[in-house]
Amino acid sequence: MTEQGGRLVADQVLLAFGRTPNTTSLGLDRAGVKTGPDGAIIVDASSRTNIPNIYAVGDVSNQFNLTPVAIREGHAFADSVFGKKAWQVDYSNVPTAVFSSPEIGAVGLTELEARAQYPAVDVYTVRFRSLKATVTGNCEASLLKVIVDCTTDRILGIHIFAEEASEIIQALAIAVGSGAIMKDFLSVMAVHPTIGEEIVAMRTPTVRYDRRDASSPLLAP
């Protein structure tokens, strides 16, 4: 059962229980370092704890439990404290992937997050079978979703369910983080046949959510 009340049919079920920061044996209480209910070390934007000379990076802070994030936090700490080049980690557009089959790649806001934060949002979606899948007899379908701010045309999030989604989302994260707009994507010449060409071929939003005009109808899904 999904949060929206829908049901998913699957061949197998994978139970993911999450992780709890392993901080109980670090002596944080003796040092006076504050932790959350789950044992996570509470830090500010610079990875500093409530004790000025104690910092914490990586999974112990339970923010983004990803290896690249931990490495980036370590770089920011070293540069800021020892390198005299102060900077902070930007968590706003962290690309993620699930190495399933097909893979899932995502960067930026989800559709629900975008609708909550912006007055008007366009959602572009496309479902398709790639040419290679058709030739080989593979029945796997792909799904692409691009979420756009109607006011500025800026891309807020991209979500991919397709082969090699992890590779594709890594490159697209650069565009999202750089403030690319939908017009930028549409100006790119497509490489055929690829999954990526579907993104630069999205001309019409599948649905529009506009809180500025309550009488404005949604486009047909």
Please list the active-site residues: 192
What are the residues whose beta carbons fall under 8 Å from the beta carbon of 100, sequence distance 6 or more? none
Q: How many residues does the chain have?
A: 221
Q: Beta strand pairing status for 120-128 and 207-210? A: antiparallel
Structure tokens at 97: 């992937």
Q: Which helix (H) or strand (E) holds 116?
A: helix 111-117
Give, as one character, the DSSP assignment of residue 220: P
**Can you tell me which residue has the tokens 């959602």?**
123
Three-state SS sequence of 146-201: EEEECCCCEEEEEEEEECCHHHHHHHHHHHHHCCCEHHHHHCCCCCCCCCHHHHHH
Q: CB-based burial of residue 45 (10 Å sphere; 0-12 exposed, 13-18 middle, 19+ buried)?
A: exposed
Beta bridge partners of 157: 108, 147
Within 10 Å of residue 200's Cβ, how many Cβ atoms? 17
